[in-house]
Homo-oligomer: A and B are copies of this chain.
Amino acid sequence: MNYLFTNLIGSFVLDQNLKIIDQIPFKSLAEYAQSKEAESKLKKKHPQLQMLPQDKLPQVLTLFKEKKYFKEFHDKNIALTQEAVKDSVSNDNFIIQAIANIAELDKACNLLSKRLREWYCWYAPEISEKITNHEQFADAIIQKSKKELLAEFKIKESMGAEMEKIHVDEILLLAKQVSQLYHLRQQHEQYLEHIMKKYCPNLLELAGTTIGAKLMELSRGLKHLALLPASTIQLLGAEKALFRHITSGSKSPKYGVLFAHPLIQKARKEERGKAARMLADKLSLCARLDYFKGEFKAKEYKKELEEKFR
């Protein structure tokens, strides 16, 4: 009775005493991937070939502890791991990185916008008061001079100092940088929409770009999101409040990142919890449809929800 045994470096035929009597070595990982072929070749050559029974495995493994095999095992294992690592990069990763960077850009934008306002206030404090949106403020002071801006808001004279060009230029350099950061943020959103449209169209349709991506970030990918119960999806992003609820008995949270969803924003206050629950329900379905490559049903769901909470 002979045994068949296959590992990374080849297919082997062993006799009853577990000596190697025949083998087909694998030259590359591609051959290892096609190991069935090698096995069937050996099976034809040696009739009555059996798979190695479990209890004999430890003995066989000691066979391969010989030094001559070491390098091959090492190299092939590394290569195998490399391939696995490479293949592990999926759309999930891109989406998670992009949405995380959007959050980080927001932080940077706020930080620099505040400084920009404070700095520009030495020059024309009135403008900062008139334009509350950070992005619009940066764009406005880039595009228009102090005079033009004052005229636009019908301010006769500014309290700000007359500055030499060198000082104003320095402020405008910062303004340009802030404006570019906001543009990058927009670009990231478009990019997100582009990949989500292919990868998870249902989720994108019902949750929108930002919320959809945030859900994927919090659940570490579409697969995990699809496997989560709807009640967990409802509370993703509200972990702190949830644990506060569990430990100190404060009110349980009704929604996490879903709070920003238009459906919940538009719902009456007393119905928001219910809306969040139903939205999470449908989002869970969407994630599953997307993960298992199902049909595009999000539009129907959306309509259904919108009719319910008009």
Contact = CB atoms under 8 A, between A and B. Distances in A.
A122 B87 CA distance: 10
B111 A104 contact: yes
A104 B112 contact: yes
A159 interface: yes
Given A177-B181, A184-B174, A112 B108 contact: yes
Give the size category of A's interface with B.
Answer: 35 or more
At the interface, is chain A mostly helix, strand, loop or mixed?
helix
Interface in A147-175: 157, 159-163, 166-167, 170, 173-174
Interface stretch (A15-23, A90-98, A210-218): A90-98
A256 to B, nearest CB: 22
A187 interface: yes
Contacts of A93: 122
Contact of A159 (B85, B98, B177): B85
Interface in A90-119: 93-94, 97-98, 100-101, 104-105, 107-108, 111-112, 115, 118-119
A156 to B, nearest CB: 11
Q: For A97, A104, A167, A173, which residue has the most chain B Cβ atoms within 10 angstroms?
A: A97
B184 A89 contact: no
A87 B161 CA distance: 7
B188 A94 contact: no
Contacts of A181: 177
A8 to B, nearest CB: 18
Nearest to A101: B115
B85 A97 contact: no
A36 interface: no
B163 A89 contact: yes
Contacts of A157: 82
Given A98-B170, A167-B195, A170-B188, 16 more contacts: A82-B157, A82-B159, A85-B161, A86-B162, A93-B122, A94-B170, A97-B115, A100-B115, A104-B111, A104-B112, A105-B112, A108-B112, A166-B194, A166-B195, A170-B191, A173-B184
27 contacts: A82-B157, A86-B159, A86-B160, A86-B161, A89-B122, A89-B161, A89-B163, A94-B122, A94-B167, A97-B118, A100-B115, A101-B112, A101-B115, A101-B119, A104-B111, A105-B112, A108-B111, A108-B112, A166-B194, A170-B187, A170-B191, A173-B184, A173-B187, A177-B180, A177-B181, A177-B184, A180-B180
The 7 closest A-B CB pairs, nearest first, are: A89-B161, A108-B108, A97-B119, A86-B161, A89-B122, A101-B115, A85-B159
